[in-house]
Structure 1
Amino acid sequence: MEEGKSTLKRASSAPSIAQTFSPCREALFITIVCMGQFMTQTNVGVCLSNIDILGASFGVTDSGILSWFIAGYSLTVGTFILIFGRCGDLFGYRRMFLSGFIWLAIWSLVAGFSVYSNHILFILARVLRKAMIFALFGAVAPNSAVLGAVFSAVFSELAWWPWTFWTQAIVAVVCAGLGLLVVPSIHHETSPDTSTWINLFKALDAPGAFCGIGGLVLANIAWNQAPVAGWSTPYVYVLLIIGLLLIAGFFVVEFRFAEHPLIPFHAFSRDVSFVLGCIACGWGAFGTWIWYFWRFQMEYRHTSPLLGSAEFVPAAPIGIIACFVTGLLIARVRPGWIMVMSMTAFTLGNIFTAIAPVDQTYWALTFVCLLVIPWGMDMSFPAATLMLSNSVERKHQGIAASLVTTVVNYSISLSLGFAGTVEVHVNNGGKTPEDVLKGYRGALYFATGLGGFGILLSVVFTIKCYWEEHQSRAVDNAAAEETSLSTIAESQ
């Protein structure tokens, strides 16, 4: 017994991995982890400022096809994050982290070399380079997206656009090499048994992953292809039907058959649905806004990639300010109210862009919009993560954060399909610049509606929290009064 106690004492007093780092290694470790986040988020911006240059290089002018340069990227983020999170549990986070950098480097090279092929290879590279590395992070970094837009504009206008992606490949390889030196190897002590192929199959929840990923991908492709091919095209609605059936199959597998489900639905309360619904609406509105904002600036105000990137820069410092303010507010204000504010910012950003006159100066609604939108991005993610963390047990908080990231990125991709459908139904065929602009504004009004619904959901959720807290206090007061009466009765 004494030996057992001494063993426990030694274990409890053992230093954490972070405490074993030298100051130099700790600084490098933090830098490499931040670079992982930086690399993933710059990929959001590299196809914004130079989208017309990319399209001209591939001979693509159709807005519906060009939107896939963004949508395909976010689609992979939203669908693969959970399965690769499970891979990290099973095979080690260090191994997955370094593999992610190498994977990113390979497909960045392919994206650059696609200049000698066609836009299909480019979109494929954009999809595959994202699958692993984004699964390792659950935070949003708009500053990196701004920087990505700036550097892609510089390379595209002053050099050659493939160097945008080749440079990313070089940086990713360097980060992988440094990560090999400074990132420690960590495994879960309670990971499922993977000693046989059958056990590995069960531990990965392969049937659930197949149904979930396949369903989300097919449904998203259908919605994003519909504006291009039309809903009357058979393969579009066939893909949607198959996708919905696979999604239904995913829930059946997770609830009935999976020994190690990717998403432990039994551990989540109804609050999770409210939070994820708000995130889906807000970030769906953002995904639509960022695409049509750039299309409006470049097509109707004839902004060059470099000038457009320079005009986009205010989003970076405002994002930093929003992060600090949110950190202060979270300790003083209910997360629900922070979510209300973030949904309001997303909605206002879309309204300002939708109503902005073509000949209006940048310093009017456009500049104001860039001062507002970052608050939606940088307030919603931490608020949602905190709200979900408070709604689940500690052991499920990592999965809850992954769900937030999944919904954020999948909503961006899916909303582009919805917005594109709205655009082609209101632009009268897009035969004149006026009709095309009408379609753009219609898509932005759709995003405004998404943001408004997010505001409604977040307000309802906040009121619900107040009501439940009031009810809980009432029950506690009644119990305390009953106890007090019982005590008085016993004393008499």
Structure 2
Amino acid sequence: MISSPESSDVDPPSQAPSNHDIEAKEPPQQNVYPADNLSTPRQILFVGTIYTAMFTNQVGLGNTLTTVGIIGECFGITSQGQLSWLIAGYSLTIGTFILIGGRLGDEFGNKKMFVIGMAWYSLWSMVAGLAVYSSHVLFVFARVFQGMGPALTLPNGLGILGKSYSPGPRMNMSFAWFGGSAPFGAIAGFLFGGLFALAWWPWIYWSQAIALSCVAIFAAWAIPPQAVQPKQEQSLREKLEDLDIPGMFTGVTALVLFNFAWNQAVVVSWHEAYVYVCLILGVLFATAFFCIEIYWAKAPILPLAAFNSDIAFVFACTATGWACFGIWVFYIGLVALNIGGNTPLQMAAWFIPVIPSGLISALAVGKLVGKIPASWIMITGQIAYLVGSILAATRPPHSIYWTYYFFSVLIITVGMDTSFPAAAMIFSGSVPQQYQGMGASVVMTVVNYSISLGLGLAGTIENNINHGGLTPEDKLKGYRGALWFSVGLAGLGVVLSLIYELKTRLKYESAKV
């Protein structure tokens, strides 16, 4: 029936709005979580690209761990303290700049920062290989600048996943698999590092540069456009205030100086005045950073006012566990290479158990999230660190692989792939909603900075008990001293995680009363 002109002037109040009217009034929802609408093959390409952030991060660590002696020999480096810088410098930069990388992603776009991070990582990987024509100083600087690549890709990769999937099982599994890609990256680093070292070690980094440049190009296509929250027009001053430039400067300076002091002391000892100066300046800059973040910054890069005792326990457990892991992976390798006479390729084969162990751990965490308390997952990880590091510290250097070494690798991988997601979940449940996005970035900062600082502390112990490392026996004594220090850190982590669980249980019981 055709309505008359009179009846068309006013719609009856009870008339339901048409679908067209609803679409006009409400924004379409299909673009809120873009990955939910992708086909399965397209999702695989997308998440696989994001996982390269963790994968390539671990490649950068693994490809140098087993070949550090070959690279050091090329540059005439014999001191283990100087060699540790080739590892510590990379982790130091990642841990120092991850928070900044996450903030830049929030301001300028996660996808853009992810692609830039891969390109930057590729550039300095090429420079690391070219350092063969210069000196170890250029190589160390290249390794330091390499770390800025993962500092951009890791937090922004996690940010992209969080914005691309609606909350639920798929999001939980995507985060679990993100952590589960780490063992594959470590094995790839060990394997290809050892293979290219057989030809010429610079190809370790030149091949890495080629692969990373391909990932950067592919990521620009594979990552779907991210929804951008509309922002009011801001002046340059307001944009700088949002970036918290003073907080960035004082925080980065404090972390670098403090870590530099501990790692450089391994090389030149604590008798050099500039080591103390760097340490004192690091403490002063850290004090300035805390004052800025608490009292001055309008948009603090690290909102300390939101932290509580739960966060303190998370930080402490994460720091002790990953510092233990950094020392373990460096010194168990040195014992095998320098005392046991094994080759880098053998080392790559010996670390293969991290793949099944890491996969099972990642899948288990993804399935258990929400079913058991995250504090119990944290305790499991800390116990794994403790048992794995004890096996490494007590291992006879010429024992067969299938005893101490095999079980140490198998068990400590559980610590890696349970402690990170557990820490991120506890952090997420302990801070207000507006700080949820920074949880993974903060935990990653603690993870990577702890690896670097732990190596510096372990190196100091090694140098003070190995009598100069002139004989294999003295070298082994120093290595074992460092490994027993990792046992002590892991034991402290177990105690702290148990205290946290007790504290959580008491809080729950008091809330019921």
TM-score relative to the length of structure 2: 0.88
- Tell me by how many angstroms 1:14 deviates: 5.7
Residues 358 and 180 of structure 1: is their aligned pair in 2 closer, same or farther, counting only changes over 3 Å?
closer
Q: Does 1:255 align with 2:294?
A: yes
Name the aligned partner's letter for residue 239 of structure 1.
C
Whole-Å separation in 2 of the counterparts to 1:127 and 1:10: 45
- Tell me by how many angstroms 1:408 deviates: 0.3
- Tell me by how many angstroms 1:179 deviates: 1.7
Q: 1:79 aligns to what SS in structure 2?
A: helix
Whole-Å separation in 1 of the counterparts to 2:314 and 2:218: 37
Alignment of 1:430-445 (within 5 A): 430-445=469-484
Aligned equivalent of 1:300, options 329, 335, 339: 339
The match for 2:310 is: 271
Q: 1:132 aligns to what SS in structure 2?
A: helix
- Contact map agreement 1:80 1:132 (CA 8 A) in 2: no
The match for 1:199 is: 238
Name the aligned partner's letter for residue 473 of structure 2.
E
The match for 2:7 is: none
Q: 1:137 aligns to what SS in structure 2?
A: helix
Whole-Å separation in 1 of the counterparts to 2:215 and 2:265: 39
Aligned equivalent of 1:124, options 103, 119, 141: 141
Aligned equivalent of 2:69, options 52, 56, 80: 52
Name the aligned partner's letter for residue 96 of structure 1.
M
RMSD over aligned Cα atoms: 2.0
Name the aligned partner's letter for residue 80 of structure 1.
F
Q: 2:270 aligns to what SS in structure 1?
A: coil
Name the aligned partner's letter for residue 212 of structure 2.
A
- Tell me by how many angstroms 1:298 deviates: 0.3
Q: Does 1:288 align with 2:327?
A: yes
Aligned equivalent of 2:127, options 87, 107, 110: 110
Whole-Å separation in 1 of the counterparts to 2:321 and 2:32: 42
- Contact map agreement 1:48 1:294 (CA 8 A) in 2: yes
The match for 1:488 is: none
Aligned equivalent of 2:104, options 73, 87, 97: 87
The match for 1:64 is: 81
- Contact map agreement 1:192 1:203 (CA 8 A) in 2: no
User: Number of matched residues?
Assistant: 471
Is the deviation greater in 125-134 or in 47-56?
125-134
Aligned equivalent of 2:191, options 142, 145, 150: 150
- Contact map agreement 1:97 1:136 (CA 8 A) in 2: yes
Residues 252 and 102 of structure 1: is their aligned pair in 2 closer, same or farther, counting only changes over 3 Å?
same
Residues 19 and 315 of structure 1: is their aligned pair in 2 closer, same or farther, counting only changes over 3 Å?
closer
Whole-Å separation in 1 of the counterparts to 2:55 and 2:374: 26
Whole-Å separation in 2 of the counterparts to 1:82 and 1:191: 22
- Tell me by how many angstroms 1:97 deviates: 1.0
Is the deviation greater in 20-29 or in 448-457?
20-29
The match for 1:43 is: 60
Whole-Å separation in 2 of the counterparts to 1:352 and 1:192: 57
Whole-Å separation in 2 of the counterparts to 1:142 and 1:99: 24
Aligned equivalent of 2:214, options 137, 153, 174: 174
- Tell me by how many angstroms 1:191 deviates: 5.5
The match for 2:406 is: 367
- Contact map agreement 2:130 2:202 (CA 8 A) in 1: yes
Is the deviation greater in 373-382 or in 335-344?
335-344
Whole-Å separation in 2 of the counterparts to 1:187 and 1:59: 52
The gaps in structure 1 that reach 5 residues or longer are: 475-492
- Tell me by how many angstroms 1:334 deviates: 1.7
Aligned equivalent of 1:133, options 150, 161, 172: 150
- Contact map agreement 2:353 2:410 (CA 8 A) in 1: yes
The match for 1:481 is: none
The match for 1:337 is: 376
Aligned equivalent of 2:224, options 168, 171, 184: 184
Name the aligned partner's letter for residue 459 of structure 2.
G
- CA displacement 1:93-142 (0-9 Å, x = unmatched): 12111111110111011011111111111111111122133333255412
Whole-Å separation in 2 of the counterparts to 1:368 and 1:470: 38
Name the aligned partner's letter for residue 177 of structure 1.
I
- CA displacement 1:433-472 (0-9 Å, x = unmatched): 2122111111111111111111011000001111010000
- Contact map agreement 1:282 1:454 (CA 8 A) in 2: yes
Name the aligned partner's letter for residue 192 of structure 2.
F
Whole-Å separation in 2 of the counterparts to 1:113 and 1:374: 33
Q: Does 1:394 align with 2:433?
A: yes
Q: 2:300 aligns to what SS in structure 1?
A: coil
- Tell me by how many angstroms 1:10 deviates: 3.5
Whole-Å separation in 1 of the counterparts to 2:227 and 2:29: 18
- CA displacement 1:354-401 (0-9 Å, x = unmatched): 111123222111111111110110110111111111112233112121
- Tell me by how many angstroms 1:181 deviates: 2.0
Whole-Å separation in 2 of the counterparts to 1:282 and 1:84: 24
Alignment of 1:204-243 (within 5 A): 204-243=243-282
- Tell me by how many angstroms 1:187 deviates: 5.7
Residues 431 and 401 of structure 1: is their aligned pair in 2 closer, same or farther, counting only changes over 3 Å?
same
- CA displacement 1:38-64 (0-9 Å, x = unmatched): 222211101011111111111111110
Residues 324 and 16 of structure 1: is their aligned pair in 2 closer, same or farther, counting only changes over 3 Å?
closer
Q: 2:26 aligns to what SS in structure 1?
A: helix
Residues 13 and 178 of structure 1: is their aligned pair in 2 closer, same or farther, counting only changes over 3 Å?
closer
Whole-Å separation in 1 of the counterparts to 2:214 and 2:110: 18
Residues 464 and 8 of structure 1: is their aligned pair in 2 closer, same or farther, counting only changes over 3 Å?
farther
The match for 1:164 is: 204
Q: Does 1:10 align with 2:50?
A: no
- Contact map agreement 1:81 1:132 (CA 8 A) in 2: no
Alignment of 1:413-432 (within 5 A): 413-432=452-471
- Contact map agreement 2:30 2:37 (CA 8 A) in 1: no
The match for 1:406 is: 445
The match for 1:358 is: 397
The match for 2:508 is: 469
Is the deviation greater in 387-396 or in 28-37?
28-37
- Contact map agreement 1:92 1:185 (CA 8 A) in 2: no
- Contact map agreement 2:53 2:150 (CA 8 A) in 1: yes
Q: 1:67 aligns to what SS in structure 2?
A: helix
Q: Percent identity?
A: 41
- CA displacement 1:57-103 (0-9 Å, x = unmatched): 11111110111111001000100011111111111112111111110
Whole-Å separation in 1 of the counterparts to 2:486 and 2:31: 52
